[in-house]
Structures are given as structure tokens and as C-alpha cells.
């Protein structure tokens, strides 16, 4: 018998000063049985960083042909493809061919360094790609905020992110490994 996903509810209050985006979102997140709290919370962070009224979660770990988070236009064309973790380099290049913008939000400490060393040369040629790292202390602290019902505030300003749940706060500075090309 296959294990079922666990359902989480999250109310996000997002203040993205960089984009001038100030909105609340009520989300339902299905956490795959093999997904950790840390990965799920980095998916929530990815949502907050790119928040939009039509941004949606993909089917997650059970669907290899979908990102963790994405935004499609009314025709179904993929505008933003957002993956978390250290995805396969071939899959990232394929996503760059399918989407207008591709973002990777990497986490995992030393694993990110090793992954980036192995894929950097090939991925740096992808103009539609941006790769950002979440510090390991921050991703682990985010995991501590995970709960079946969450109320989180995200404040985003110049690469600094502050996440709070009323009792605990997690400040972080994201590290850009690769910026998206401005000449597209």
C-alpha cells in the first residue's frame, strides 16, 4: 500500500519590498512521504520569493516533468519554472528550453557546493537561469517552523529574507550563484 501525502495549510503574508509586492496567500501543500520538512519549507520560501496570483505548486517529487513551483500564462506556456534542491543538470537545461525563466533555489550546505562545482560550467551558459543558495542554517531553521497549520510572514529586501511565525524568526541572506542574463 502506497503512503499518501500529508496535507499542510499555510497562510503567508508577503512583503517583497524589491518587487513592491504586498499580499496574503492561503496555500494547501501536499508533502510527499519522502519529502522532509526542510524541503517543504524551502518550497514555501520559493513561493514567497516569486509570489504571484497565478503561481502554483507542481505535483512535487512524484512528477519528474514538473517543477516544484511554476507560473503559467493563460495559454499554458510556462513563464517561471522554479526548482528547489540540487536538480539534475540535464533537467535544468531542459526546463530552460521550456520556460521563459528558470530558478533554482539550492539548499543543503556542502552538497550545494559539490553540486555547483559539477554543473556550473554547463549551467552558466543558460541565459534564462538564475541559481540562488539558501544557507544551511536558514533552511534548517525554516524546517523548525513547519506545522500542519502555519501562519508565516515573509519580508524580502535586497537578497535578505526574514521569515517569522509570531514566536520565532529566521533571518537569512540568500547567496546568488548565477544571475539571470539581462540580455534576453
Can you tell me the mean pLDDT for 155-179? 95
| Length of the chain, in residues | 184
Top pLDDT among 58 and 1 is at 58
Round to whole Å and give the CA distance between 88 and 110: 17
Share of the chain residues as helix, strand and coil, in percent rounded to the nearest 5? 25, 40, 35
* 181, pLDDT greater than 90: no
Q: What is the pLDDT of residue 153?
A: 98
Structural domains in the chain, CATH included, are 6-178 (3.10.640.10)
Whether the per-residue pLDDT at 113 is higher than 70: the answer is: yes
Dump pLDDT digits (tens) for 62-101: 556 789 999 999 999 999 999 999 999 999 999 999 999 9
Percentage of the chain lying above the pLDDT 70 cut = 95
- pLDDT higher than 70, residue 61: no
Q: What pLDDT, on the 0 to 100 scale, is given for residue 36?
A: 94
The pLDDT value recorded for residue 4 is 84
Give the pLDDT score at 159: 83
Q: What is the arithmetic mean of pLDDT over 19-43?
A: 94
User: Is pLDDT of 132 > 90?
Assistant: yes
What is the rounded average pLDDT of the residues 123-139? 97
148 contacts 163 by C-beta, under 8 angstroms: no
Using CA atoms, how far apart are residues 42 and 31, in angstroms rounded to an integer? 12
| pLDDT at residue number 78 | 95
pTM to 2 decimals? 0.94
> To which residue does cell 522532509 refer?
36
For residue 62, the model assigns a pLDDT of 55
Q: Is the pLDDT of residue 6 over 80?
A: yes
User: Quick check: 163 and 41 in contact, CB under 8 A?
Assistant: no
Amino acid at each position: 500500500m502506497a503512503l499518501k501525502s500529508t496535507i499542510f495549510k499555510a497562510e503567508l503574508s508577503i512583503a517583497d519590498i524589491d518587487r513592491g509586492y504586498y499580499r496574503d496567500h492561503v496555500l494547501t501543500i501536499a508533502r510527499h512521504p519522502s519529502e522532509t520538512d526542510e524541503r517543504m519549507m524551502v518550497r514555501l520560501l520559493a513561493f514567497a520569493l516569486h509570489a504571484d496570483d497565478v503561481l502554483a505548486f507542481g505535483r512535487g517529487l512524484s512528477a519528474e516533468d514538473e517543477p516544484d513551483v511554476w507560473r503559467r500564462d493563460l495559454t499554458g506556456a510556462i513563464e517561471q519554472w522554479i526548482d528547489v534542491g540540487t536538480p539534475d543538470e540535464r533537467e535544468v537545461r531542459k526546463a530552460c528550453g521550456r520556460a521563459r525563466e528558470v530558478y533554482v533555489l539550492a539548499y543543503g550546505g556542502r552538497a550545494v557546493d559539490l553540486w555547483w562545482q559539477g554543473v556550473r560550467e554547463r549551467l552558466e551558459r543558460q541565459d534564462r537561469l538564475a541559481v540562488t543558495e539558501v544557507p544551511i542554517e536558514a533552511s534548517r531553521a525554516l524546517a523548525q517552523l513547519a506545522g500542519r497549520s502555519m501562519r508565516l510572514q515573509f519580508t524580502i529586501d535586497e537578497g535578505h529574507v526574514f521569515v517569522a511565525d509570531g514566536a520565532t524568526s529566521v533571518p537569512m541572506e540568500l547567496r546568488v550563484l548565477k544571475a539571470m542574463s539581462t540580455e534576453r
